[in-house]
Amino acid sequence: MKKKISNLFKNMQSSKKEEKFVKDILFRINELESKVLELFDKEALENKENLLKRIDPDNLIKTTAPDDGTLRKADGILVNDFFLMNSLEVISFGETIDWNYNHPNSANTYRLYIQCLNVISHLCDAYTQTDEKKYLYKAYAILLDWILFIKTDEERNRFKWVDHSVANRVMNITYFYNLAKDELEINESLIAEILIEHGNFLEDDKNYVQNNHGIMVDRSIMLLSIFMEEYSRSKHWFQKGKLRISNAVYRDFSASGVHLENSPSYHLMTRRIFNQVEDFLKKNNLTLGKEIRQKLLQSNDYLKFIVKPNQKIPIIGDSQEGNVSWIKKSYDSFSDTQAGISILQSKGEELNKSESTWLSFISGYGRKTHKHRDDLSISLFYNGSDILVDSGRYNYDSKDKIRQYFLSPEAHSTISILDKDYVIEEPFKNRNKIKTTNFMSNPVYDYVKGINHAYEGSKLSRSVVFFKPDIIVIHDKIVNESEEQVQQIFNFSPDAEIDTVTNNNLSLSVEGNNVEFKQLLEVESIDILTGDSETPRAVISEEFGKLTDNTQAIFSKKGKNVEFVTVITLGVGKKKLEDVTFDSKGSILTIKILGEAYKLIV
């Protein structure tokens, strides 16, 4: 009995607390609404009545989706603990929201996502799970607080009105309206006025950039045009959005369907946006057209190649780790010279228990966006484990020394000139300097070659031969105008453990897989670097804003004409390899594997 009385008392206490919260938030809404309305012309608002169309919230495009953590996030937002995204810290504002909040790390990222108002969408998700109006009340209070801020604040904050934040706010405000319309007393004319301001911003080509942000803009302006179809400019909004996003499909994807922004994560994101738009249009008896739909289907093909055998995407460029479990993996090899990406791979044979091998090679690019100085770099996956990995993105703060390192050649498994770097120009300027020059694939081996002539005074080339499934030969050739220190860098998985190191050999193990790197030509030195976030060096980022220590091996030589020939054996590949030689005069590789001899010009 005591336990029942105790629980009843707790419920009563909880109920009283809830009532007080709702009473306080309604008072705050009235206070904010009065202040905000003073900033607008009354007659202008009256002319904005009946412009908003009711759309089933299930048919909207949204920035968030309900999940097991929705109520935790939303309950925090009720007390101004702003959840922005999974990889960012929750920001506790207390009683007053600081819309110009300046985080000590990755300040721009936090400022952007605060201005996106995704917190409104999380509150709306919580309402759909609970039917509790407190979440909608809080969403309206936050919206009014933001409007008051945006109309009165004079501090310079470029994220107030920038493509990404404006595009997200349109989706979040639209979602809120269509949930709250029949549940709360909201000023529809005020919301219409704010959305018109957003629509005009999105329509203006001065605010439009031809990359993934541009398609975010087009997605939102087309959503807005249907939501506000009674507004005089809605048809102009729709036509502008449809024209730009249709052009973007041909602008942003290669002929074989690879998104040109140099990152598997952005391939996934952009194809998702295009598909969201097409699905939304279909629900409103509209479409981007048959050709666009076919191009979007083609973009699925690249995922079959770029996804590793464990169904994860590599952290190439500005990517972070993620699963693509819904795609059926293809083990055919692949090359796209426009995108500057090649995949060499083989499928494991179940009968002899050998597992799959996957290797990426980067040389060239079709867009500057998200491009690292990673040309001639490789990533390697074997028998269920990453062996060589890329750096990831960490953040987008160009002044952050860790971000600068991640973009540099030193963060990738490539060749570089010590104390020198190269510039990522517009693709047409570098198309003959950085490119994939050869690719072939047959049942025995895959071969790819690329050049990087963008270093001033140096010409670099790399050839990779993958003898399936467990032997790789890399030939690096560097021609310098003057003597330079050349580094061949290998960026290992965090799980890699170095076993032995000599001048010309290195062996390591990764989750039970033995891997050996052998230099056929003499090198002058080998350095092993371990995780150092201060310098920084030998760190990667699998999640946004988070660092993981790894290990690097650097083979070095100095000269005008420098060559490396590196043989990588994976697992039993070492036993299969009977002999290997290299003739520098003709760049001829001779190799004998299980009694079979091969001679190739590399």
**Residue 9: which residues within 8 A CB-CB, separation 6 or more?**
none
Cα separation, 210 vs 16, in Å, equals: 53
**CB–CB of 215/299 below 8 Å?**
no
Q: Tell me what the mean pLDDT of segment 335-356 comes to.
A: 83
List the structure tokens of 391.
């750096």
**Bridge partners, 380 (sequence order):** 359, 388
In this model, does residue 429 exceed pLDDT 50? yes
d(CA 222, CA 551): 47
Q: What angle do CA 528, 533, 538 make, to 5 degrees?
A: 30
Cα angle vertex 387, ends 385, 390, to 5°? 110
| pLDDT over threshold 50, residue 10 | no
Helix (H) or strand (E) holding 528: strand 525-530
Q: Which two tokens stand for residue 305?
A: 């190649």
Report whether pLDDT(391) > 90. Answer: yes
Q: What is the pLDDT of residues 373-386, one digit of tens each?
A: 999 999 999 999 99
Q: Does residue 44 carry a pLDDT above 90?
A: no
Alpha helices for 38-117 (secondary structure H): 42-46, 70-78, 107-116
Of the chain, the percentage scoring pLDDT greater than 90 comes to: 90
What does DSSP assign to residue 58? G
Instruction: Read off the pLDDT of residues 73-111 as tens digits, 9 standing for 90 and up.
Output: 999 999 999 999 988 999 999 999 999 999 988 889 999
Q: Distance (Å, rounded) from C-alpha 424 to C-alpha 260?
A: 14
Where residue 354 falls among pLDDT bands split at 50, 70, 90?
Answer: low
Which of 132-136, 291-295, 423-427, 575-579 bottoms out in mean pLDDT, i.e. has the lowest?
291-295
- Record the pTM: 0.90
Q: Taking 50 as the threshold, does the pLDDT of residue 3 lie above it?
A: no
Coil, strand or helix: which one is 580? strand
Tokens for 292?
């666009």
Report, in angstroms and rounded to the nearest whole number, the Rg of the chain calculated over CA atoms.
28
pLDDT in tens, 186-216: 999 999 999 999 999 999 999 999 999 999 9
Residue 440 in this model has a pLDDT that exceeds 60 = yes
Question: Residue 353 pLDDT more than 90?
Answer: no
- What is residue 516's three-state secondary structure? strand
The Cα–Cα gap between 80 and 92 comes to 6
**Does a cis peptide bond (omega within 30 degrees of 0) precede residue 264?**
no
Q: Does the pLDDT at position 5 exceed 50? A: no
Q: Any idea how long the chain is?
A: 602
Q: Is the pLDDT of residue 322 over 80?
A: yes
User: Over the chain, what is the mean pLDDT?
Assistant: 94
**For position 11, what pLDDT does the model report?**
52
Q: What tokens were used for 369?
A: 């966006």
